[in-house]
Amino acid sequence: MDEPILSRRAALFGGMCLCCMPALLRAEAAGAPQPAKTAEVSPGIHVRRGAVEDATAANYDAIANLSFIVGRDAVAVIDPGGSVHDGQSLRLAIRAVTQLPIRYVVLSHVHPDHVFGAAAFKEDGVVFVGHAGLPEQLASRGEFYKSGLEKLLGDGQVESVVVPTRLVRDSDELDLGGRVLALTAHKPAHTVADLSVTDKQSGILLTGDLLFVDRIPVLDGDLKGWLAQLAEIRASGVRQAVPGHGPALVPWAAAEDAQRRYLTALLDETRAAIAKGIPIEEAATTVAQSERDKWQLFDSYHGRNVLEAYRRLEWE
Amino acid sequence: MTSRMTSGAKRWIVAGLMAVAFASHAVAEDETAEREARWKDVASNIFGERPMEDGSSMLKLIVPERAMDAALVPVTVELNGDHHIVAVSVVVDNNPSPLAGTFRFGPAFAQNTLKMRVRVNEYTLMHAVAETDDGKLYAVARYVKAAGGCSAPSASMSNDILARLGKMQLRRERSLDPNSIPAQLMISHPNYSGMQQNAAGDYTPARYLEHVSVSVGGTKAFDLDTGISLSEDPAISFTYLAKGDGDIDVKAKDSSDAVFSQHFNALK
Q: Is residue A311 part of a domain?
A: no
Amino acid letter for position B130: A
Q: What residues make up the domain containing B100?
A: 2-264
Q: Which residues of B touch A300 (CB under 8 A)?
A: 7, 10-11
Structural contact between residues B233 and B221, judged by C-beta atoms closer than 8 angstroms: no
A71 Cβ contact partners less than 8 Å away, ≥ 6 residues apart = A44, A100, A175, A176, A177, A178, A179
Q: Which residue of B has its CA nearest to A141?
A: B153
- Do the chains contact at A297 and B10, CB–CB below 8 Å? yes
Contacting residues of B for A220, CB less than 8 Å apart: 14-15
How do residues A83-128 score in pLDDT, each as one tens digit?
999 999 999 999 999 999 999 999 999 999 999 999 999 999 999 9
Number of Cα atoms under 13 Å in the Cβ half of residue A116: 30
Cβ of A139 and B201 within 8 Å? yes
For chain A, what percent of residues have pLDDT higher than 90?
88
pLDDT attached to residue B16:
33
- Note whether A145 and A116 are within 8 A (CB): yes
Q: B199–A140: do the CB atoms touch at under 8 Å? A: yes
Print the domain residue range for A79: 33-252
Say how far apart CA A63 and CA A133 lie, in whole Å: 24
Do A127 and A188 sit in the same domain of this protein?
Answer: yes
pLDDT of residue A156: 78
Asked if B180 has any chain A CB less than 8 Å from its own CB, the reply is no
Reported as type and span, the H/E element at residue A25 is helix A23-29
Residues A25 and A110 in one domain: no
Per the CB < 8 A criterion, the answer to whether A76 and A127 are in contact is no
A301 lies in some domain = no
Question: Tens digit of pLDDT for each residue in B29-57?
Answer: 788 999 999 999 999 999 999 999 999 99
Q: Work out how many domains chain B is built from and give that number.
A: 1
**B9 with A56: Cβ contact below 8 A:** yes
Q: Buried (b) or exposed (e) across B60-69, using 16+ Cβ within 10 A? A: bbebbeebbb
Q: What is the pLDDT of residue B176?
A: 84
pLDDT of residue B241: 96
Q: Which of A23, A46, A19 is nearest to A35 (CA)?
A: A46
Interchain CB contact of B1 with A (< 8 Å): no
- Closest partner residue to B68 (CB to CB) among A56, A151, A307 is A307
Do A110 and A231 lie in one domain? The reply is: yes
What pLDDT score does B23 carry? 36
| pLDDT for res B8 | 34
Query: Which conformational region is residue A277 in: left (phi greater than 0), alpha (psi within -120 to 50 degrees), or beta?
Result: left
What CATH code is carried by the domain that includes residue B233? 2.60.40.2470
pLDDT profile of chain A (316 residues), mean per 10: 37 38 45 94 98 95 98 98 97 98 98 98 96 96 94 88 97 98 98 97 98 98 97 97 98 98 98 96 97 97 97 91
Residues A102 and A4 in one domain: no
State how far Cα B102 lies from the chain centre: 9
Gap between the Cα atoms of B176 and B172, Å rounded: 13
> Are A9 and A44 found together in one domain?
no
pLDDT at res. B200: 87
In a domain, A285, yes or no: no
Find out whether A196 and A210 touch, Cβ atoms under 8 Å: yes
Are residues A200 and A91 part of one domain?
A: yes
What does each of the 268 residues of chain B score in pLDDT, given as a tens digit? 333 333 333 333 333 333 333 334 445 778 899 999 999 999 999 999 999 999 999 999 999 999 999 999 999 999 987 889 999 999 999 999 999 999 999 999 999 999 999 999 999 999 999 999 999 999 999 999 999 999 998 876 666 777 889 999 999 988 888 889 999 999 999 999 999 998 888 999 999 999 999 999 999 999 999 999 999 999 999 999 999 999 999 999 999 999 999 999 998 7
Q: How far is A215 from chain B (nearest CA, A)?
A: 13
| Number of domains making up chain A | 2
In a domain, A298, yes or no: no
Task: Please tell me whether residues A184 and A242 are part of one structural domain.
Answer: yes
- Taking contacts as CB-CB distances below 8 angstroms, the residues of chain B near A62 are none
Q: Which of B2, B173, B197 sits opposite A139 (nearest CB)?
A: B197
Residue A213 lies in a domain: yes
What is the distance between the alpha carbons of residues B259 and A256, in angstroms, rounded to a whole number? Answer: 47
* Closest in B18, B74, B152 to A280, CB measured: B74
Task: Give the integer Cα–Cα distance in Å for A109 and A142.
Answer: 12
A119 and A242 co-located in one domain = yes
Q: Which of A144, A147, A304 sits opposite B69 (nearest CB)?
A: A304
Amino acid at B224: L
- Reported ipTM exceeds the 0.90 cut: no
Chain B nearest-CA residue for A56: B6
Q: How many CB pairs under 8 A join A and B?
A: 116
Check residue B157 and give its pLDDT.
63
Which residues in chain A are contacts of B7 at CB distance < 8 A?
54, 300
Q: Model confidence over B197-230: pLDDT tens digits?
A: 988 889 999 999 999 999 999 999 999 999 999 9
B17 interface with A at CB cutoff 8 Å: yes
Query: Do A14 and A136 reside in the same domain of the chain?
Result: no
Q: Identify the pLDDT of residue B27.
A: 55
Looking up residue A109, the CATH number of its domain turns out to be 3.60.15.10
Considering only CB atoms, which chain B residues are within 8 Å of A280?
72, 74, 117, 235
Instruction: Check CB contact under 8 Å for B197 and A56.
Output: no
Cβ under 8 Å to A: B residues 46-105 = 64, 68-69, 72, 74, 76
- Which residues lie below 8 Å from residue A312, measured CB to CB, with a gap of 6+? A222, A223, B156
Kindly state whether residues A14 and A118 are assigned to the same domain. no
- At residue B158, the pLDDT reads 62
Same domain as A7, residue A101: no
Q: Under an 8 Å CB criterion, which residues of A touch B?
A: 53-58, 110-113, 136-137, 139-144, 147-148, 151-152, 192, 218, 220, 277, 279-281, 284, 297, 300-301, 303-304, 307-308, 311-312, 314-315
Q: How far is A30 from chain B (nearest CA, A)?
A: 19
Same domain, yes or no, for A93 and A236?
A: yes
Write the residue in A57, A113, A300 that is nearest to B11 by C-beta. A300
Distance from CA of B6 to the nearest CA of A (A): 6
Nearest CA distance, B192 vs chain A (angstrom): 13
Is A149 within a domain?
A: yes
